Structure 1
Amino acid sequence: MQKVSLTKKILLAITVSIILAYQLLLIYVDDKLASRAFPNLYQSCHKIWSARGLYNQRSEQNAISSMNRAFANGAKGAEVDFHYDIEMNRYIISHNHPERGADGKLVYPEKDGEILTLNKFLARLNDGSHFWLDYKNLDKLTDQQTQTAIERLLEITEQNNIRDRLYIEGSNPIKLSRYTNAGFKTILGIHPLKEKNILASLTMNLYKIGFSYFNISALAMAYGEVDNPIYSQQAIQILGPIPVFLFHVPDDAKTLNQLMAMDKVRTILVGVDQSINRFGINHCKL
């Protein structure tokens, strides 16, 4: 009986110590984030951007024609998918991963009849618009390949004078931080749990802790459902001052207007794999 009692006391002491350490860590992280600046990030009353442009069919996603259509309808920015091709030392606009052709080279889907490079894309759309660049193969690059990719992106954005209007999203905080260190604005894509999940607050806090230790500009996450959001009131409180880029936001007027009023919400993408024009909804004062 004494051994059982002693074991319980030890387990209780360990549990209390872990909980105390966790709470102290959260206090430290919150204090660290409260004193951290998030300068020069997009902050406008026009928060709704286009997801891959306004398109009539999936093959038009990420095409210059669909982007022009979105901007003509009032979008101030757009989310775009891209890959870095190691062999060509080029960034290619594409959502899908490339396939190997008969000659062994990577084959990308064409956009408006051509393989669309990021260089061409930015040169043809350099009209003051902002771009959320979803980096599809960031995780697959080696350290040396990452450095080469950064140097190439610096060259491209210097030519097009657009660096301040680019936001690079990826899910690898170590590699993403290297882009921040090189002078780019970055977004860490995370996948927290929905509000009704018992572990929702724990996972959101863990993401916050991780974010605080890396040089990254903002977070990106799916909104969730209207009646079971990921970006819930609890999540908003946990994340504190961290700027957020939201995607897969329900096409619900009340939800959109609520998000419009939140300073920490910088950009909104409406719908899931849908071409939706809600660019007229804004938080601008008349």
Structure 2
Amino acid sequence: MKKFYIKLRNNPRYFFTGLLLTPFILAYMGLSVIDLWTTYVISDHRLSNLDFKVWSHAGFIKDSNFELDSMESFEKAKSNGAKGIEIDVIYDVDMDEFIVSHDFPYKLHNNEPLKLDSVFTVYKEEYNYWLDFKNLKDLEETEVKESFKNLVSLLEKKNVSQDFVLIESVHLKNLSYFTKNNFYTSWWITPSKSRYLSHLRNYSHKLKYILGEYSSLSMPYKYYERVEEPMNNIPVNLWTINDKDFFHKVKNKKQIKIILTDNNWYD
């Protein structure tokens, strides 16, 4: 070994070759550590270890006049056997309330907006909740903290454990506040079609997982094949699968933790 270093020192060609290769070797080692970490060091959480994974997408409305995100659709899903439900919510800063609605202006029920408070009052821990936090991306830092305090207080008041709730958003910075305060979160991503751009993004996503910024990934089901292998064992949640063949193709994959569907395929 000593002779090798003397040779390297005395031969400029070897020296500069080694100097040029060093960043690439270090980069390769860093990427290898990221891959090992996201394969074997996966955060454990109740919602990633359920014995069921098929959840209702905003309630069940088939063959009815019910609307999605309504108490009627939630009740129908429950009667069909759903144990988990996705709900679209908007945090109203002025009201300091979570409103069940996909968009603003709010969808009204009996001329009133449906409050998340009402859902928790009725179902408590009979459901597991996927809260698609629609306007988290639009909130200022102080408003994110207020929404967090409101949700924690609401869960305590309604005797619903935080372990029964998943928070989803496209905005990682604001979502990470919930992650770092012990909520199970899902970062909504759209994987790139480009092979090289996708490769870079995947390592960026994996590093952010290691740093504790999110707990799982969510995406439209048609994108799953782009991340199945590259994301190693990072938990993945898919929406909204109504294609029966694809449903059976992925249902038993270990990496997939939650599947949203409009059909009565609950397990």
TM-score where L is the length of structure 2: 0.82
SS at match of 1:131: strand
Which residue identity does 2:101 align to in structure 1? S
1:68 alignment partner in structure 2: 75
Q: Which residue of 1 aligns with 2:35?
A: 30
Matches within 5 A, 1:152-167: 152-162=150-160, 163-167=162-166
- 1:25, distance to aligned residue in structure 2 (A): 3.3
**Could you tell me which residue of structure 1 aligns to residue 185 of structure 2?**
186
SS at 1:156's partner residue? Answer: helix
Contact preservation (8 Å) 1:249, 1:268: yes
Is 2:53 aligned against 1:47?
yes
Native 8 Å contact 1:201 1:235 kept in 2: no
The letter of the residue matching 2:165 is: L
CA distance in 1, matches of 2:65, 2:209: 34
1:276 aligned onto 2:242 = no
Using the alignment, how far apart are the partners of 1:140 and 1:37 within structure 2?
A: 28
**Which secondary structure state, in structure 2, belongs to the residue aligned with residue 150 of structure 1?**
helix
Aligned to 2:224: 231
Residue 243 in structure 1 maps to residue 235 in structure 2: yes
The 5 Å alignment of 1:132-143 reads 132-143=130-141
1:259 aligned residue (234, 250, 256): 250
Alignment partners' CA distance in 2, 1:25 and 1:125? 46
Distance in 1 (CA, whole Å) between partners of 2:110 and 2:28 is 54
Matched-pair contact (CA < 8 Å) for 2:56–2:84? yes
Aligned-pair CA distance for 1:22:
4.9
What is the Cα deviation at residue 174 of structure 1?
2.0
Could you report, residue by residue, the CA deviation over 1:76-102 in whole angstroms, capped at 9, with x for unpaired residues?
11111001111111111100123xxxx
**CA distance, structure 2, for counterparts of residue 223 and residue 205 of structure 1:** 21
More deviation, 199-208/165-174:
199-208
Contact 1:132 1:167 in 2 (8 A): yes
The separation in 1 between residues aligned to 2:237 and 2:145, in whole angstroms, is: 26
Contact 1:26 1:209 in 2 (8 A): no
Q: Structure 2: any 5+ residue segments left out of the alignment?
A: 1-18
In the alignment, is the contact (CA less than 8 A) between 2:48 and 2:235 conserved in 1? no
Residue 99 (structure 2) pairs with residue 92 (structure 1): yes
Structure 2 CA distance for partners of 1:18 and 1:90, relative to 1, 3 Å = farther
In structure 2, give the amino acid aligned to 1:115.
Answer: P
Alignment of 1:71-82 (within 5 A): 71-82=78-89
Q: Percent identity?
A: 26
Aligned length, in residue pairs:
246
Residues 202, 58 of structure 1: CA spacing in aligned structure 2 closer, same or farther, 3 A cutoff?
farther
Please report how far the alpha carbon of residue 73 of structure 1 lies from its aligned counterpart in structure 2 after TM superposition: 0.6
1:38–1:217 Cα contact (<8 Å) kept:
no
State the AA in 1 paired with 2:265: R
Q: Which has the higher helix share?
A: 2
Gaps spanning 5+ residues in structure 1: where?
A: 1-12, 99-107, 225-229
| Aligned counterparts of 2:65 and 2:177: Cα–Cα separation in 1 | 33
Q: Is the 8 A contact 1:219 1:244 kept in 2?
A: yes
Q: TM-score, normalised by structure 1?
A: 0.77
Matched to 1:276, the amino acid is N
Letter in 1 for 2:248: N
Asked if the contact 2:45/2:184 (under 8 Å) is kept, the reply is no
Q: 1:208, 1:239 within 8 Å by CA — same for their partners in 2?
A: yes
Partner SS state of residue 130, structure 2: strand
Instruction: Tell me the CA shift for residue 75 of structure 1.
Output: 1.2
C-alpha change, 1:19 and 1:128, in structure 2 (3 Å) is farther
On the 8 A contact 2:217/2:235 being kept in 1, the answer is yes
Instruction: Answer whether contact 2:191 2:227 (CA < 8 A) is retained.
Output: no
Larger radius of gyration: 2
Alignment-derived partner of residue 4 in structure 2 = none
Residues 45 and 260 in structure 1, CA contact (< 8 A), matched pair in contact too: no
1:167-186 matches, cutoff 5 A: 167-186=166-185
2: distance between equivalents of 1:89 and 1:248? 30
Aligned pair in 2 of structure 1 residues 140, 18: CA closer, same or farther (>3 Å)? Answer: farther
